[in-house]
Structure 1
Amino acid sequence: MPSLRFAPPTEVPGLAARRIAADILDGVLHKRRTLDDQLEGGAAHPGLKTLSDRDRALMRRLVATILRRLGTLGHVLSRLLDRGIPTDAPRAQSALLIGAAQILWMDVPDHAAVDLSVRLVQSDRRAAKYAGLVNAVLRRCAREGQPLIDEVEPAMLDVPPWLMARWTAHYGEATARQIAAAISHEPSLDLTVKSDSAQWATRLHGEVLPTGTVRTLLQGSVTMLPGFAEGQWWVQDAAAALPARLFGDVTGKTVVDLCAAPGGKTAQLVAAGAEVTAIDRSPGRMTRLRDNFARLGLAAATAVTDALEWQPGQQFDGVLVDAPCASTGTIRRHPDVAWLRKELDIGALTALQQRLLQKAVSLLKPGGTLVYCTCSLEPEEGEHAVASLLAAEPAMRRMPIEADEVAGLSELLNADRDLRTLPCHLPHADPRLGGLDGFYAARLVKS
């Protein structure tokens, strides 16, 4: 009688993608590693190279869905588990989250979601004893999960309480709820094009936003989309594309971008005719900027250095400070931010932002323009930072932004006529085609 051969667990279709998803979730939730670090660059998960494009896309969507719905998943699983999620086996926790996310929000048959999560647990020595528990809980989730979601307000559960409290205090309860609802949806792909937005919107099956950004729902590797290899566009959220425009006509002017990588705003300035010097302290991020510029056919002077220590021996017509920040305005695109950031982080970041602003003033010619921006919803990193600088630097004054500089969208301007975009801005009948990253930007002039 011929011997029977059983395929090892790693050969079960879809299991490798889920195993890597579990590793990356563990990296975010237990080791405080960002998604970007685990998905790209030299420190990326080594298993990514072995995945097909389809499995890689599935893995990314799995991780993003879980992080976007983490509060709701915690509520559902806590109701289905008598003793809570096992804490002595991270793989059991990940398997429950992965299985439940597929059952509740993804187009995966319930039986496949359950089976693959059980296999995921069985392949881990510490978690194997929980295989029966995972099986039972996920079967109950398929029957009872949706009613458990219906009894709560999911968007409110999926934002850490400290963040919701801050947004409610600064923007009001109604707007805070709208922000929470907006970041619960998977976002579109936004592109800044060199020219002819309408043509690229047609070719990429998208639409042109009032600000000129091309927005599309196309998925998969961006490197395979029309126009990428030819350098006709770059990926950039519609809100992130606004600050660089606040310099006005930069033809022939010298501009320094103090925190430049990955280079979207730098590219805008160069494409508009400025002579740009791009500064970033990270060699890896600067390599990415240079690679992007080579593809786009653009040129800028670059320096890998700490902006605070940089001594160029000259002053510039314009200085852009896209400062390191808590990044809470980008949660819709980077859902790990919600769970990696702590309220205590903001204090250290605001101190750095003030030092960068002071450095920017020293680099600016009289009559020159300083644009300060952050992708944060927190007022300390936006409105308060600029107010502190204006109080400390009598030579600096605010130049209010006019509505026609932001395509007539006056709702994007605050009371001081600085830029303040929110994730709930630009609503759309299809939530995936609506929204913006949360950005703050102010334009200041040196007298």
Structure 2
Amino acid sequence: MPCLDIHTELKNSKAYLKLHSERTVNNELILKTPLQLNAHTILKNRIVKSALSEALANADGSPSEKLIRLYETWAKSGAGLIITGNVMIDSNALGEPGNVVIEDETHLNALSQWASASKSDGSQIWMQINHPGKQALRGLNKETVSPSAVPFSLKLGALFSTPRALESEEIWKIIQRYATTAEIAKKAGFDGVQLHGAHGYLISQFLSPHHNQRTDEWGGTAEKRRKFVLEIYNAIREKVGADFTIAIKLNSADFQRGGFTEEESLDTILALEKAGIDLIEISGGTYEKPIMQLGQVKASTRSREAYFLDFAEKVRKASKVKLMVTGGFRSLNGIETALKTDQLDLIGLGRIFAIEPLAPQRLLNGEESLQTVKPLTTGIKYIDQLGTLEITWYTRQLLRIGLGKQPIPNENGLKSFILDLKDKGFGILKMRRLRSS
């Protein structure tokens, strides 16, 4: 296939790297330069399509034609790397209706089509794999689980059930589910996997002293709370071998009282680096503190655009691991400035891909994107503060692209919220019927 030829050429071409290094010196865009990620992976440039929730799977959890068409579109964007949205490791633990689920090789052909479509123009494709833990809408699954039975805040208690605390034996089974999903991703043709260890999902829950109040081998100290993610990494590496990329999206902090802190995050990064992780994507927040959805307002953030560059600087001083930052980038100048200061290796872009799917083409040509990511509102304060609109609105744009239509960059926020609420309700009812049949 053409995409395989391109990857082979990049991997075998030291001259290619040397040429682009020289161009950087001559004031060409750093964004365009390739990155030697590890011994077996060269990315053709520094733009990454970061994970976005698509909710476009078929009812059986397999990739739909709409999902494959969406990635065929993104493959033409010119991005060096494309990371999928949540792929769940357990059909009994969905994060939302429409998640792709991989438990075995039942849908291997469809998964291979998905990978092939994504790599058709020389991009790499990584699968983000996840377990939601307690962060699943009430009624979507038979039950939700977490390290400890810690309820949600009062504001979200009506939407999310109090989880059941996992037994140690169950934890080991979940670890193997991650490894199985990664192994199938490799077999399907994906170039790597990204663990979702941020935004309050299960790995994030284990890392957080707020959500993880255990006193056994899985909690009680920061080191024990890290055991879950390290065991997942080791189990995956054992299944996929040394030449398959494993990355993680990790919170810089949870921004919750008693939660995961920057100090613990840095220690976790150092432990993952020692274990052999290939890339850390820095993020932050949870459903209860949706920093990624609502953004930050510090002066340093406004001037530097990206949300987590301050923390990336701290990581850079302590670690040599490859870094990616997603969230807040709005201009070519902001992107290039971050790369020039060597605070990170890769630029993660998300929501712009939903309203201008080929935006990287313009950025790589030294031009600003045609569209700008702007704050969304329904006009209803309670809804807007939840941060969910920043997910659901963009998900609806992805559906349009998957249907072969153009996104609507100025779609009304309240209309989008109401339509998504209806779709989520039908989706939960459909899952209940499937479980009972």
Q: Same fold (TM over 0.5)?
A: no
TM-score (normalizing by structure 2): 0.26
The structure carrying a bigger helix percent of its residues is: 1
- Indicate the structure whose relative CO is greater, using CA pairs within 8 Å and at least 6 residues apart: 2
Bigger Rg, which one? 1
